[in-house]
């Protein structure tokens, strides 16, 4: 009898806890949005449950959205350069700019060319950083890496890993070859591919976010091509030998944007979530996420970060870095397909 | 019994057999035939900027055969799978032999349980465990360094992938080969010895042929699971050996190109089907 009562109690408790927040918000996000420090305050304030689905790469997000019913999703986090793609596919709805913290956004992160289409704003930057070079300063000096072309010269054979994402790495190599990421064409691909394949010959491994971090943190490699503060900033306490730098030729700047789905059934709540992520508290939590650290788009987050955190993020050097970095390439569909073909050949080599 | 009564009994038995087979049939129809049919149809569709376009085109298959990287991925998958199957059989046979023939009966159950233990952990855990052993600063290279020997590039390589797979499938093959060995009548070996056959001749002409069905079935299961596995090559291969499952994931994850992913999956299924037909043909020939 006692056992039956206990079971009934457990089921009732589970049902009650599941229904404690009857309203749910569904967000399609990168892994840095899953910390309780970011999500719990919003859930508690609004009495809702936020369901998060992680993805990596815009293709994966589009695939998930295609397989969903209209209204399934409320909030989307997406690469800044892919916002126009999402808008043209009718995925994102318009955002009310007067309710968002544009006054304190880093000016370079406003990115009207990506976020504003036909006079309407569809997304806002929330976090940014660089795809550049992370390295173990006990093994390699900053001077050794000043010239980016050395990465694929064979000088570091077996010492480097490559971040497995075609856009930033190919963009970075394009910068190293003296090209502008915004103006890449099909004619640029043979030269980029040649450098990329030479890079593969020197690479010990190619891996996604966690594998890349693990490779350099465990000493498996000394250099991570495509790395940056997102790899090393969160590891400074345990791995002080890890550092990152921008080579003389420059680097690629990545940025994440956040928006509300056009067919969200609860656009007001979704907008509240966007405002929460863009708030100084939300931005500080996002910047120091356990998945990866990076600069918040809202400069007001500086008040919420400790000096140590700001040092790890190189808060005071951002103006210099922003000047040296170019945006991710934003290829049209034909160039994008060709770039992915090149990347497949790189992986198969 | 009258003819009418016999016919009625036969009809009732047939109905009962159909009723008993129906759940298995419906299960296979719903969870294999139908999804496979959808995948087959999808492999002829196209992914465009506007989304998926229903069509009957061979474009995806043309892309596969026209793109060297895709063919290399298929070749990598076959090479890795054949190597894993070969090494797994090579290691599993003596292990199964020791358990079935050499070990005292009271320890056999314990030995088999130990053979099964690796199945209790997930692919991911097993693969990461192997990286701890094979990494540049891993256990093996630490030993080598301590003994003054050069460090080896074991991790992030095909060697690592084949090693991780072989560890798992050796245990699987031990079970199928062991089953064949214990079913073998013991007097066959005595008869061979009575007829003057030495241990090697007995093994070659009596034991090995009788245990070949166990090897063939285990090898086919190894082939079918290994060629479709994504996790082990991804973790242990370190992105240095693109295999078909990884290529399929690239289509889904990066390109949202489900038709191309379906095409590659069909090609993978064709490889498995060829392996199955070869196994079935061998079993049929041996069964005569």
Q: Find how far residue A305's CA is from the centre of its chain.
A: 19
Measured between alpha carbons, how far is residue A51 from residues A36, A48, B67, B139 in Å? 12, 10, 40, 41
A89: closest chain B residue by CA: B50
Q: On the CB side of B148, how many CA atoms lie within 13 Å of its CA?
A: 0
Q: Is the pLDDT of residue B61 over 90?
A: yes
Question: How many residues are there in chain A?
Answer: 349
Check residue A98 and report its DSSP letter: G
Residues of B in contact with A57 (CB under 8 A): 253-254
Residues of B in contact with A219 (CB under 8 A): 136-137
Structure-token pair, residue B131: 């990286």
A197: closest chain B residue by CA: B240
Residues of B in contact with A347 (CB under 8 A): 69, 239, 242, 246, 250
ipTM tops 0.95:
no
pLDDT tens digits, A163-188: 999 999 999 999 999 999 999 999 99
Check residue A110 and report its DSSP letter: T
Place of tokens 């990115």: A111
Residue B123 domain flag: yes
Q: Collapsing DSSP states into helix, strand and coil, what is residue A136? A: strand
Judged by CB atoms closer than 8 Å, whether chains meet at A345 and B52 is answered as no
Q: Collapsing DSSP states into helix, strand and coil, what is residue B55? A: coil
Intra-chain end-to-end CA distance of chain A, in Å: 65
Check residue A179 and report its DSSP letter: -
pLDDT of residue A6: 46
Out of A1-5, A57-61, A130-134, B14-18, which region has the weakest mean confidence (pLDDT)? A1-5
B50: closest chain A residue by CA: A89
pLDDT tens digits, A82-115: 899 899 989 999 999 999 999 999 999 999 999 9
* Sign of torsion over alpha carbons A86, A88, A92, A96: positive
Confidence grade of residue A161 (pLDDT, cut at 50, 70, 90): very high
Backbone angles phi, psi at A105, to 5 degrees: -75, 140
d(CA A223, CA A219): 9
**More confident: A86 or A18:** A86
Picking from B228, B268, B266, B229, the residue whose alpha carbon sits closest to that of residue B36 is B266
C-beta neighbour count of A23 within 10 angstroms: 10
Rounded to the nearest 10 degrees, what angle do helices B208-227 and B158-183 cross at?
A: 140
Give span(s): CATH 3.40.190.10, chain A. 21-128+254-315, 130-253+326-348
Picking from A59, A60, A205, the nearest residue to B238 by CB comes out as: A205
d(CA A4, nearest CA chain B) in Å: 31
pLDDT of residue B66: 94
User: Residues A40-50: what's their mean pLDDT?
Assistant: 96
The H or E element that residue A2 is part of is helix A2-18
d(CA B137, CA B145): 10
pLDDT tens digits, B1-12: 577 777 888 888
d(CA B148, CA B142): 10
Residues 6+ apart with CB under 8 A from A112: none
Judged by CB atoms closer than 8 Å, whether chains meet at B69 and A344 is answered as yes
Picking from A185, A124, A219, A209, the residue whose alpha carbon sits closest to that of residue A339 is A185
Under a CB-based contact definition with an 8 Å cutoff, are residues B263 and B60 in contact?
A: yes
Check residue A236 and report its DSSP letter: T
Residue B109 domain flag: yes
d(CA A306, nearest CA chain B) in Å: 34
Rounded CA Rg of chain B: 24
Under a CB-based contact definition with an 8 Å cutoff, are residues A256 and A77 in contact?
A: yes
Structure-token pair, residue B119: 């199945």
Residues 6+ apart with CB under 8 A from A186: A334, A335, A338
pLDDT of residue B254: 81
Interface of A with B (CB under 8 A): 56-57, 59-60, 62-63, 66, 158, 161-162, 164, 166, 203-207, 211, 215, 218-220, 333, 337, 340-341, 344-345, 347-348
**More confident: A16 or A179:** A179
User: Residues B219-244: what's their mean pLDDT?
Assistant: 93
Intra-chain end-to-end CA distance of chain B, in Å: 38
Q: Is the pLDDT of residue A12 over 60?
A: no
pLDDT of residue A287: 96
Q: What percent of chain B has pLDDT over 70?
A: 98
User: Residues B148-173: what's their mean pLDDT?
Assistant: 92
C-beta neighbour count of A216 within 10 angstroms: 25
Picking from B70, B156, B247, the nearest residue to A205 by CB comes out as: B156
Reported CATH class of domain A21-128+254-315? alpha beta
Residues of B in contact with A340 (CB under 8 A): 250, 254-255
- CATH code for position B148: 1.10.3720.10
Residue B53 domain flag: no
pLDDT of residue B1: 58
Residue B18 domain flag: no
Residues of A in contact with B135 (CB under 8 A): 218, 220
Q: Is the pLDDT of residue A60 over 50?
A: yes
pLDDT of residue A10: 42
Measured between alpha carbons, how far is residue B139 from residues A14, A36, A139, A161, B145 in Å? 44, 36, 21, 21, 10
Q: Is the pLDDT of residue A20 over 80?
A: no
Structure-token pair, residue B231: 């996790």
Picking from B68, B156, B253, the nearest residue to A59 by CB comes out as: B253
pLDDT of residue B9: 83
d(CA A253, CA B25): 55
Confidence (pTM): 0.82
CATH number (3.40.50.2000, 3.40.190.10, 3.10.100.10, 3.40.50.10680) of A130-253+326-348 reads 3.40.190.10
Picking from A66, A206, A345, the nearest residue to B238 by CB comes out as: A206
| CB proximity under 8 Å: B 23-82 to A | 49, 51-52, 67-70, 72-73, 76
Confidence grade of residue B144 (pLDDT, cut at 50, 70, 90): very high
Q: What percent of chain A has pLDDT over 90?
A: 73
Picking from B76, B135, B256, the nearest residue to A218 by CB comes out as: B135
Structure-token pair, residue B73: 């991925």
Substitution target in A57, A347, A349 with the highest count of B β-carbons within 10 Å is A347
pLDDT of residue A232: 86
pLDDT tens digits, B110-137: 998 888 887 788 888 888 899 889 988 8
pLDDT of residue B67: 92
pLDDT of residue B287: 64
Q: Find how far residue A178's CA is from the centre of its chain.
A: 24
C-beta neighbour count of A20 within 10 angstroms: 10
d(CA A268, CA A260): 9
Under a CB-based contact definition with an 8 Å cutoff, are residues A39 and A48 in contact?
A: no
Judged by CB atoms closer than 8 Å, whether chains meet at B255 and A203 is answered as no
Q: Is the pLDDT of residue A11 over 70?
A: no
pLDDT of residue A230: 86
Residues of A in contact with B250 (CB under 8 A): 340, 344, 347
| CA angle (A107, A113, A115) in 5-degree steps | 85
Domain around B175: 67-287
User: Residues A4-26: what's their mean pLDDT?
Assistant: 54
User: Residues B182-209: what's their mean pLDDT?
Assistant: 89
| CB proximity under 8 Å: B 125-144 to A | 135-137
Structure-token pair, residue B53: 């376009």
pLDDT of residue A15: 41
d(CA B146, nearest CA chain A) in Å: 18
Residue B15 domain flag: no
Q: Is the pLDDT of residue B80 over 70?
A: yes
Quick one: how many helices (H) and strands (E) in chain B?
14, 2
Under a CB-based contact definition with an 8 Å cutoff, are residues A134 and A163 in contact?
A: no
pLDDT tens digits, A212-254: 888 898 888 999 999 998 888 878 778 899 999 999 999 999 9
Structure-token pair, residue B37: 């049919």
Backbone angles phi, psi at A224, to 5 degrees: -120, 115
Domain total for chain B?
1
User: Residues A151-162: what's their mean pLDDT?
Assistant: 95
DSSP state string for B187-243: HHHHHHHHTT--HHHHIIIIIHHHHHHHHHHHHHHHHHHHHT--HHHHHHSTTSS--
d(CA A349, CA A59): 23
pLDDT tens digits, A249-299: 999 999 999 999 999 999 999 999 999 999 999 999 999 999 889 999 999
Residues paired with residue A255 on neighbouring β-strands, in sequence order: A128
Picking from B52, B76, B250, the nearest residue to A344 by CB comes out as: B250
A163: closest chain B residue by CA: B239
Q: What percent of chain A has pLDDT over 70?
A: 94
d(CA A319, CA A299): 12
d(CA A166, nearest CA chain B) in Å: 9
For the stretch A314-321, contacts whose Cβ atoms lie closer than 8 Å and that sit 24 or more positions apart, written own/partner, are A314/A229, A318/A106, A321/A130, A321/A246, A321/A251
Under a CB-based contact definition with an 8 Å cutoff, are residues A206 and A286 in contact?
A: no
Backbone angles phi, psi at A66, to 5 degrees: -60, -35
Substitution target in A196, A199, A203, A344 with the highest count of B β-carbons within 10 Å is A344
| Mean model confidence pLDDT for chain A | 90
pLDDT of residue A98: 95
Judged by CB atoms closer than 8 Å, whether chains meet at A204 and B253 is answered as no
Under a CB-based contact definition with an 8 Å cutoff, are residues B164 and B178 in contact?
A: no
User: Residues B19-36: what's their mean pLDDT?
Assistant: 94
């Amino acid at each position: 009898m006692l056992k039956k009562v206990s079971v009934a109690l457990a089921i009732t408790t589970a049902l009650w806890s599941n229904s404690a927040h009857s309203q749910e918000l569904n967000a399609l996000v990168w892994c840095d949005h899953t910390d309780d420090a970011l999500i719990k305050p919003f859930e508690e304030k609004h009495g809702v449950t936020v369901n998060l689905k992680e993805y990596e790469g815009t293709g994966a997000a589009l695939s998930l959205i295609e397989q969903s019913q209209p209204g399934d999703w409320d909030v989307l986090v997406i690469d800044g350069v892919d916002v126009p793609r999402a808008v043209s596919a009718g995925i994102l709805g318009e955002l009310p700019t007067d309710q968002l913290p544009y006054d304190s956004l880093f000016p370079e992160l406003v990115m009207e060319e990506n976020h504003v289409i036909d006079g309407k704003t569809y997304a806002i930057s929330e976090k940014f950083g660089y795809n550049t070079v992370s390295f173990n300063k006990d093994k390699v000096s900053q001077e050794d890496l000043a010239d980016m072309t050395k990465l694929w010269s064979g000088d570091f054979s077996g010492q480097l890993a490559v971040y497995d994402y075609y856009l930033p790495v190919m963009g970075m190599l394009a910068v190293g070859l003296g090209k502008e990421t915004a103006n890449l064409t099909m004619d640029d691909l043979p030269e980029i591919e040649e450098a990329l394949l030479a890079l593969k010959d020197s690479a010990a491994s190619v891996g996604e976010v966690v594998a890349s971090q693990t490779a350099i943190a465990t000493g498996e490699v000394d250099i991570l091509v495509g790395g940056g503060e997102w790899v090393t900033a969160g590891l400074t306490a345990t791995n002080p030998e890890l550092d990152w730098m921008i080579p003389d030729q420059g680097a690629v700047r990545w940025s994440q944007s956040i928006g509300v789905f056009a067919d969200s059934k609860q656009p007001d709540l979704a907008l509240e979530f966007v405002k929460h992520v863009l708030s100084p508290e939300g931005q500080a939590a996002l910047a120091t996420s356990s998945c990866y650290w990076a600069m918040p788009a809202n400069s007001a987050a500086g008040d919420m970060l400790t000096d140590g955190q700001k040092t790890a993020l190189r808060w005071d050097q951002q103006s210099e870095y922003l000047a040296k970095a170019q945006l991710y390439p934003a290829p049209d569909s034909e160039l994008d397909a060709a770039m992915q073909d090149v990347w497949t050949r790189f992986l198969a080599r | 019994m009258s003819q009418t009564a016999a016919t009625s009994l036969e009809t009732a038995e047939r109905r009962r057999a159909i009723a008993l087979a129906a759940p298995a049939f419906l299960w296979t129809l719903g969870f294999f035939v139908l999804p496979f049919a959808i995948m087959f149809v999808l492999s002829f569709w196209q992914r465009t900027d506007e989304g998926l376009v229903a069509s009957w085109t061979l474009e995806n298959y043309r892309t596969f055969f026209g793109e060297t990287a895709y063919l290399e991925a298929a070749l990598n998958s076959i090479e890795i799978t054949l190597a894993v199957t070969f090494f797994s059989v090579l290691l599993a046979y003596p292990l199964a032999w020791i358990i079935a023939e050499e070990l005292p009966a009271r320890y056999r159950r314990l030995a088999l349980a130990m053979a099964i233990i690796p199945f209790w952990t997930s692919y991911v855990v097993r693969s990461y465990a192997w990286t701890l052993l094979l990494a540049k600063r891993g256990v093996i290279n630490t030993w080598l360094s301590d003994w003054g020997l050069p460090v080896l590039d074991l991790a992030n390589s095909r060697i690592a992938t084949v090693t991780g797979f072989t560890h798992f499938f050796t245990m699987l093959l031990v079970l199928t080969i062991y089953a064949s060995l214990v079913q073998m009548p013991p007097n066959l070996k005595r008869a061979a010895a009575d007829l003057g056959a030495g241990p090697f001749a007995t093994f070659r002409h009596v034991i090995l042929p009788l245990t070949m069905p166990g090897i063939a079935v285990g090898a086919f299961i190894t082939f079918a699971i290994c060629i479709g596995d994504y996790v082990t090559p991804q973790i242990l291969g370190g992105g240095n050996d693109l295999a078909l499952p990884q290529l399929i994931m690239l289509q889904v994850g990066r390109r949202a190109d489900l038709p191309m992913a379906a095409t590659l999956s069909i090609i993978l299924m064709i490889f498995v089907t060829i392996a199955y037909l070869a196994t079935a043909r061998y079993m049929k020939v041996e069964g005569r």
